[in-house]
Structure 1
Amino acid sequence: MYLRPANERGHANHGWLDSHHSFSFANYHDPKHMGFSVLRVINDDQVQPSMGFGTHGHQDMEIISYVMQGRLAHKDSEGNVETIPAGDVQIMSAGTGIQHSEFNGSDQEAVKFLQIWVLPSTAGGAPRYEQKTIAQTDRMTAIVSPSGGDSAVAIKQDMTLYRLMLNAGDTQTLEVGSRRGYLHVIEGQARAGGQQFGPGDGVGLENAEALTLDADEAFTALWFDLP
């Protein structure tokens, strides 16, 4: 079992940006934490009001933004100009190349969001953008999937991203079989296998491992079903 405690993540505080890196990113490099399966980046970012990332480029990467608090303003070279509110999920498939910027859409409050990078199944292709508000329909609700459709945004990879929401006292078992899985906690506390998991903690499963979570309080996490 791959454990990634929140307090052991990489950290960079630039004043306008406070970021925690689950995996190696930018100036933070740890050969033990380079990613998990096709999951390459989970950055837990807090951006101050009216600040953000200026125009920059990406290529051959599936980039997911999940806003936890506030609003994230997006603009890209394909002509997409959008604001992403808390709870929405956005994906940008960089394909052959795209330029974009991301800013805090408020001049009053910080925006908190997860920036997630996933390696695509194939290189190239036309860049694309998609954003959805996805209602929670069960404990495990798919928000990103290969097929997309009305209830999830589409990704160019054999992976599904679920939002997991438990109430206090709920129990949920996560199993991977012949695949792999990664859990990233957003809020709340839960116990599993003698470990306590809270915001920012991560755990990866492979080789038919399973994890049974017992929620001590309202608990929200992202569960990645990975190849």
Structure 2
Amino acid sequence: MELLHRDVLHRGGFAGLRETRLVVDNKVGGQNDTWNGLGSFVYLADARFLPKGETRMHPHKELDVITVMLEGRIEHQGSLQNGKSMQANQVQAQRAGGEGFVHNEVNPDNSENRMLQIWALPETSGEPASYKFYDLKKDEMTPVYGGDKSQNVTLDSQTIIEIGLLSKHKNVTHEGAFMAYVTGGEGILNGIEVKDGDLIRDENLDFTALSDEVHLSLIYLNKAN
């Protein structure tokens, strides 16, 4: 098992955003102290907006952007008309495609928030921009990205991303290579104690939460592939 902890890495950011990047794949520039991703998954940042902070308007093209709200709220402004505000335990997935979109992310509150920003590269270029939104359910792993083109619940990809909101003693298993990021609490993963800010890479997953409100972000490849 390989483990990377957020707090050993440089904390940077821009505008009103402060973030620690744990995954910056070589496909998108890479960094010496961060990991490569898995499949189409190429970027993971653990971020906080300053009170009333914002990213300012910026573009994306040929990129899938998954936002996981952990604490507080965020408002999205931009060219995707169905983009909307988010609060803790909600997830949105935006496909820029060949059409592209511009957006601004704003913290509307007088306190910091916290979110995960995950990027994946679309497997088909030139697709139209699209948008998905999810409410996390307690003690469930919610698929928020990946799957066949025949379904429309998630943006299609052979790389699967699931987000869990887990209470104490809840157990999650997965067979096969994976990457996982733990936030908001502690757990036992493959016999090792892990905590908020730990990124793990291994074969086969056996995770049990040791506290309530643990978020587990799980990335793996479609077994049918």
In which range does the TM-score fall when normalised by the shorter chain? 0.7 to 0.9
Shift of 1:187: 1.6
Q: Deviations over 1:107-166 (max 9, x none)?
A: x22121111101111111111123232434x5433233436999x952231233222344
Q: For residue 221 of structure 1, what is the aligned residue in structure 2?
A: 216
- 2:23 aligned counterpart, secondary structure: coil
1:167–1:154: structure 2 CA closer, same or farther, 3 Å change rule?
A: closer
Please tell me the residue identity of whatever aligns with 2:5: P
1:165–1:51: structure 2 CA closer, same or farther, 3 Å change rule?
A: closer
Shift of 1:80: 4.1
Does residue 23 (structure 1) correspond to residue 18 (structure 2)? The answer is: no
Q: For residue 142 of structure 1, what is the aligned residue in structure 2?
A: 143
1:126–1:169: structure 2 CA closer, same or farther, 3 Å change rule?
A: closer
Shift of 1:220: 2.4
Q: How many residues were matched structurally?
A: 218
Contact 1:9 1:23 in 2 (8 A): no
Q: Which runs of 5+ in 2 are unaligned?
A: none
Q: For residue 133 of structure 2, what is the aligned residue in structure 1?
A: 131
Please tell me the residue identity of whatever aligns with 2:18: D
* RMSD between aligned residues: 2.9
State how far apart, in whole Å, the 2-side matches of 1:27 and 1:61 are. Answer: 14
Shift of 1:40: 0.8
State how far apart, in whole Å, the 2-side matches of 1:32 and 1:220 are. Answer: 21
Shift of 1:51: 1.3
Identity of aligned residues (%): 22
Contact 1:10 1:22 in 2 (8 A): no
TM-score (norm 2): 0.83
Q: Which runs of 5+ in 1 are unaligned?
A: none
Q: For residue 164 of structure 1, what is the aligned residue in structure 2?
A: 164
Q: Deviations over 1:188-214 (max 9, x none)?
A: 111234532111111123xxx223223
Contact 2:173 2:205 in 1 (8 A): yes
